[in-house]
Amino acid sequence: NLIEILEENNFYDLDNLNDLHLSNNKIRFLKKKSFYLLKNLKLLSLIENLIEIIDDESFCGLNKLIELYLFKNRIKNVKTETF
């Protein structure tokens, strides 16, 4: 995959999605509310991307999220406001 950018509306009308695998892409940063519309998401995998920056509230609204995989990225800092 060659996904580089996630926009807020990328996941419009996927509110019943449980698992989202975005591993092995070229995502560099996560914008505010990138996954906001995914109210039922339980698993989010972002393994082996190029993520350096995670904006505040990037994972906002993911109240059912159980598993979050971020390893093999370039993340240096995660603020509590991210969630």
Measured from the Cβ of residue 35, the count of other Cβ atoms closer than 10 Å reads: 24
1 confidence band (pLDDT: 50, 70, 90): confident
**Amino acid 25: pLDDT:** 97
Residues 6+ apart with CB under 8 A from 78: 54
**Amino acid 73: pLDDT:** 97
For residue range 50-76, list pLDDT tens digits in order.
999 999 899 988 999 999 999 999 998
Largest CA distance in the chain: 32
Distance between CA atoms of residues 12 and 77, nearest Å: 28
The 3-state DSSP class for residue 45 equals strand
pTM: 0.91
**Amino acid 22: pLDDT:** 97
Tracing tokens 């990037």 back to the chain, one arrives at 58
